[in-house]
Amino acid sequence: MITALYPGTFDPVHYGHIDLMVRGAALFDKLIVAVYDHRIPTKSILFSVDERVAMIQEALHGRNIENILVSSFSGLAVDFARKMNATVFVRGLRVFSDFELEFRLAMANKRLAPEIETVSLITQGDHSFLSGTTVREIASLGGDVSSMVPPNVAAALYKQFNGQDTDSFSRPVPLRD
């Protein structure tokens, strides 16, 4: 049985993440979506780790995927992978510039845990522009993120930034001027 770990911040989870979760679950016997709990934040975090875990679980609900576990962790991903008996990291590549960062991360993880392999999945083309930062920025400015994130995540973003629900956005807002 091969267990894979897909670690990330997922702040917020978007359709690019969901796509990698579904594809990773198809490749491995078990996929653990590991939501990083920033005890000492190295970047701005909008949602708590419990909120992020719940959003992912709700977004995956009804997809009939039995082999995905969503869990939070802190510390090194390699330590959590060992604790969960994972032998593979799943990572995503969106654009060419992701390669350098992911390559360095994979090499560092290999140095720390030579027994754990890294598998990088190329994102679907329609998700290549998505990042948590992009989604947060658009939502914070009142833009429509409903095509980028599951409905429960869009609702949480609109509530967080505007105190509004998704019904208040009746038309898509363009991504550029």
Per-residue pLDDT averaged across 101-128, rounded? 95
Confidence of residue 162 (pLDDT cuts 50, 70, 90): confident
SS3 assignment, position 172:
coil
> What pTM does this model have?
0.88
Domains, in order of start, for the chain: 3-128 (3.40.50.620)
End-to-end CA distance of the chain: 50
Q: In degrees, to the nearest 5, what angle opens at C-alpha 43 toward C-alphas 39 and 46?
A: 80
**Residue with structure tokens 């909120």?**
51
Among residues 166, 133, 134, 170, which one has the least CA distance to residue 151?
Answer: 166
Per-residue pLDDT averaged across 20-43, rounded? 90
* pLDDT tens readout for residues 51-99: 999 999 999 998 889 999 999 999 999 999 999 999 999 999 988 888 9
As a whole-number percent, the residues of the chain with pLDDT over 90 amount to 79
Among residues 35, 23, 38, which one has the least CA distance to residue 119?
Answer: 23
Supply the pLDDT for residue 166. 45
